Amino acid sequence: MKLSMTKITLLALCVAGLFGVLYTRSSGVKFTEHDRYERGVQRLKQLDTDFNVDVLKARFRLLNNYDGFSEQLDESFATLQELTNFPAFVEAEGSVALSRTLASFSNSLSQKQEMIEQFKTQNSVVRNSLNYFPIAGSELIKKAAASPDGRELELSFDGLMRELLVFSLTAEDELEPQIRLSMEKVRAWTEAHPNHADIKMVTSLLAHARAILSRKPKVDALTRQLVAIPTGEQADEMLHIYQGQFGLALQKTHAYRLALFGCSVLLLGGIAWAIFALRSANRHLEHRVAERTAELSGKNAALQESIAEQLRTSDALRSSEQRFRTLSTCSPVGIFETDATGICQYANPRCQLILGLTFEELVKNEWMKILHPEDKDRVTGEWKQVVAAGGELNSEHRFVFPSGEERWVHVRSAAVRKDENVVGHVGMVADITDRKKAEAERKAMELQLQQGQKLESIGRLAAGVAHEINTPTQYIGDNTRFVRDSFQDLLPVLNAPRKLLDAFRDNRMTAELLLTTEEALKKADVDYLIEEIPKAVTQSLEGIERVAKIVVSMKEFSHPGTTEKTQVDLNHAIDSTLTVARSEWKYVADLVTEFDATLPPVLCLPGEFNQVILNLTVNAAHAIADAMKDRDMTKGTITVTTKRDGDWAEVRVRDSGTGIPEHARAKIFDPFFTTKGVGKGTGQGLAIAHSVITDKHGGTIAFETEMGKGTVFIIRIPIAPAAKAATENTPEEKEVHV
Q: Is 692 exposed, middle or buried (0-12, 13-18, 19+ CB in 10 A)?
A: buried
The letter for the amino acid at 301 is A
- The predicted-structure confidence for 440-449, as pLDDT tens digits, reads as follows 776 666 556 5
In this prediction, residue 717 carries a pLDDT of 92
By residue count, the chain amounts to 738
Mean pLDDT of 62-88: 79
Give 727's pLDDT tier (boundaries 50, 70, 90).
very low
Q: How far is CA 369 from CA 349, 527, 583, in A?
A: 20, 92, 61
Name, in order, each residue with C-beta under 8 angstroms of 386's C-beta and a sequence gap of 6 or more: 392, 393, 413, 415, 425
* Rounded CA separation 368/379 (Å): 9
pLDDT at 320: 63
The percentage of the chain sitting over the pLDDT mark of 70, rounded to a whole number, equals 78
Question: What DSSP element (H or E) covers 364?
Answer: none
Lowest mean pLDDT among 11-15, 339-343, 345-349: 11-15
- Kindly tell me if the per-residue pLDDT of 112 is higher than 60: yes
Instruction: Confirm if 261 and 315 have CB atoms less than 8 A apart.
Output: yes
pLDDT digits (tens, 9 = 90+) for 700-712: 999 998 888 889 9
**pLDDT on residue 14:** 81
The candidate with the shortest Cα–Cα distance to 581, out of 464, 429, 412, is 464
255-306 pLDDT, tens digit each: 877 887 788 888 788 778 777 777 776 676 666 667 777 777 777 777 777 7
At 54, which helix (H) or strand (E)?
helix 31-59
Closest by alpha carbon to 593, among 579, 603, 605, 604?
Answer: 579
Distance CA 337, CA 414 (A): 10
The pLDDT of residue 115? 83
The pLDDT tens digits of the residues spanning 638-674 come to 999 999 988 899 999 999 888 888 888 777 777 655 6
Strands 700-706 and 710-718: antiparallel
Q: Are strands 566-568 and 602-604 parallel, antiparallel or unpaired?
A: antiparallel
What amino acid occupies position 191? E
Q: Measured between alpha carbons, how far is 348 from 331 in angstroms, rounded to an integer?
A: 9
Query: Of 666, 676, 665, 728, which is closest to residue 700 (Cα–Cα)?
Result: 728
pLDDT band with cut points at 50, 70 and 90 for residue 171: low
Q: Encode 551-587: b = buried (16+ Cβ within 10 Å), e = exposed.
A: eebbebbbeebeeebeebebbebbbbbbbbbbbbbee
State residue 69's pLDDT score: 74
Query: Which DSSP category does 563 fall into?
Result: S
Residue type, 356: G
Across 509-518, average pLDDT: 74
Q: What is the pLDDT of residue 110?
A: 86
Cβ burial of 727 (10 Å; 0-12, 13-18, 19+) is: exposed
- Taking alpha carbons only, the member of 226, 219, 124, 115 closest to residue 167 is 219
Residue 569's nearest CA partner among 608, 546, 597 is 597
Contact (Cβ atoms closer than 8 angstroms) between residue 543 and residue 476: yes
Cα–Cα distances (Å) from 239 to 36, 74, 75, 79, 96, in that order, read: 13, 21, 18, 14, 14
First to last CA, the chain: 112
Pick the residue with more confidence: 13 or 22? 13
Residue 345 burial (10 A CB sphere; 0-12, 13-18, 19+) = middle
DSSP 371: B
pLDDT for position 216: 76
**pLDDT tops 80 at residue 60:** no
Q: Is the pLDDT reported for residue 138 higher than 90?
A: no
Q: What value does the mean pLDDT of the chain take?
A: 76
- How buried is 284 (Cβ within 10 angstroms: 0-12 exposed, 13-18 middle, 19+ buried)? exposed
